[in-house]
Chain A
Amino acid sequence: MSDTEVINKQSKRAFRLDLKAMGPALALLILCIVGYSLNSAFLSEGNITNLLTRSAFIGIIAVGATFVITAGGIDLSVGSMAAVISGVMIIIMNNLIGTFGAGVTTILIGCGCSLILGVGAGWINGVLTTKGKIEAFIVTLGTMGIYRSLVTYFADGGTLSLSFDLRGTYRPVYYDSFAGLPIPVWVFIGVAVAGWVILNRTAFGRYCTAIGSNESVAKYSAVNVDRIKTTTYVIQGFCVALATIIYVPRLGSASASTGVLWELEAIAAVIIGGTVLKGGYGRVGGTILGALILTTIGNILNFTDVISNYLNGTMQGLIIITAVWLQRADWSKKKV
């Protein structure tokens, strides 16, 4: 094999990888063009801000899900977990008004409790999966039902509402901007960067990939598989708690219908982004694009009345499948 051949092969491979990485970005770009052509207001500053802020919930949760899925797991409980954490957080904060007043202290304690609950709930999922030796699908299907019914129970079948005294203090966390971007978007960016660094630049990230590729090999290579896998669920729980902290100030309420199907949206965002569902390969950057794509689809469907409302699900399904097909199909195969 001559040198030029090697270089040729390498550059070809680099190009192929690029195309794969570009898939979700390309899909998002096409969606934006479609959105703009339907209505120029799509690219207005207000709508872009709305889109980014809305993506933050699913996006933050999906970054956590990227770790779980890369390490070969799955977490179906995130939507219900978000609902129950929102509910408990609201109850705690309402009850603290008497002690700490309707100020920042109450909010901070509420957020602290939210993070503890998230980490705790993630740890339970992780330990039941690893030490309990139960499939992640079943564990998190179980906790999904448990959390959902708990929030219904706490809310007495109705809605838990944050006291109006606190709303004024907490509201800016969702509605205010810093340097032109809403705060939820900054949180989203922070989580995305941290997630990218942890997955791509740390030993922990490499262990996640190794476990997802082949758990037995990882185990024989002296990787503490149980601990790493449990940690991925803890990260997921932490991300859910962060999402909850920016979700609650939006409408100040939680009910049994909070966070319904968020788990599927998060998983879809991860897969659209290029992470492999069976584990072993994860891309945080792709996940972010995946979350943006999902939100954009909903946004575009609200911007047009060309498509019957009844077919919204069909459009979403088609676009998701197309987006994944764009990046999975081996485009360069014929050329080789």
Chain B
Amino acid sequence: MFKKSIMALALGTAVVLSGSAIAQDKITIGVSYPTPTHAWASGMNWHAEQAEKRLEALYPDIDLVLVNSPDPAAQASALEDMVSVNKIDALVVLPFESDPLTDPVINVKKSGAFITVVDRGLSKEGIEDIYVAGNNPELGRVSAQYMKGRLESGDNIVILRGIPTTIDNERYDAFMAEIEGSGINVLDQKYANWNRDDGFEVMQDFLSRFPDIDAVWAQDDDIAIGVVAALKQAGRDGDGMFVVGGAGMKETIKGIMDGSELQPIDVLYPPAMLATAMDLTVASFKSNGPVAGRYILGATLINKDNAEQFYFPDSPF
């Protein structure tokens, strides 16, 4: 929603400023992020490429340079090249890791560039002009709220977690805090490493171990695919059983649009966040209002009513 309003804002400004914009030099914006190695990241890559086309068509004087890097060292080199070769006016960066990329980003800032940091914060404060990120605790909280709405006190759930990381802890802790006092029993939680195969095996074992499970929080759409396969194999996918995933995979969203009972909702961890950051960075050059600040994107609950606006059939995710 706010993306739309910014676009409208930016459009309006573009019309007003078009006279001066033509006279201006080209604005080069570097966009640096890790090479996609999993589905969510490749969805992010797709959205970023779409945003590049859209923004460059909208503003002829904007040049976006997208570079992805396979490791932190390569990303640091890519940032140096952006300053020396591309002479960027602004940088949108999703750091591979916080610590090794803090200094390289500071160096870019010293060249006078506008800095937008996405998702993974840097190790020092006050470097970035704009910060855009998803909301991990909110993802856990929204999932738990949905569970509370569907389940009664005394009902049993199992939880499949991601990889032991801060991201996973934030989601899990917020979920547990929200569900506390509701009387819903968490039978057990195990790591499924954001992986379909692990989701399948862990769920198989949960099903052997617990004869009575009412719902599953799989936290992630990849894990949920494995969970659903295990439920179907055991023939325990009926009786109001439901699985809550997360992220916003297109197949999951399609299922929600088609009225799936097993996966009736999804909780968004927007793969378009890099595109959003690119919009905001362009707006910082084009908008008549201040844009700098921290933008924490919502972990929207996707259900049958709103699924369509999150469905991107051409995206790899």
Contact = CB atoms under 8 A, between A and B. Distances in A.
Contacts of B97: none
A155 B316 CA distance: 8
Interface in A36-54: 39, 41-42, 44, 46-47, 50, 54
A257 B90 CA distance: 34
Question: Main SS of chain B's interface residues?
Answer: helix
24 contacts: A39-B209, A50-B208, A152-B37, A157-B35, A157-B39, A157-B316, A158-B38, A158-B39, A158-B316, A158-B317, A159-B39, A159-B316, A175-B233, A251-B225, A251-B229, A253-B196, A253-B225, A255-B38, A256-B37, A257-B196, A303-B208, A309-B164, A309-B190, A310-B164
Contacts of B317: 158
B40 to A, nearest CB: 8
Query: Size class of A's contact patch?
Result: 20 to 34
B116 interface: no
B208 A156 contact: no
B45 A157 contact: yes
Contacts of A159: 39, 222, 316
Q: Which 7 A-B pairs have the closest CB atoms?
A: A157-B42, A157-B36, A302-B205, A158-B316, A158-B39, A158-B42, A47-B208
Interface of A: 39, 41-42, 44, 46-47, 50, 54, 152, 155-159, 161, 175, 250-251, 253, 255-258, 298-299, 302-303, 305, 309-310, 312
A265 to B, nearest CB: 12
Contacts of B36: 156-158
A310 B193 CA distance: 12
A262 to B, nearest CB: 10
A258 B197 contact: yes
Interface residues of B, number: 37
A151 B200 CA distance: 21
Given A159-B222, A251-B200, 7 more contacts: A44-B208, A156-B316, A158-B36, A159-B39, A250-B229, A251-B197, A256-B37
B295 interface: no
B42 A156 contact: yes
A256 B39 CA distance: 9
Contacts of A155: 42, 316
A50 B205 contact: yes
B251 interface: yes
Contacts of B193: 257
Contacts of B208: 41-42, 44, 46-47, 50, 303
Contact of B204 (A50, A257, A312): A50
Given A157-B35, A305-B188, A310-B164, A298 B43 contact: no
Contacts of B204: 50, 54
Interface string B32-52: 000111110111010000000
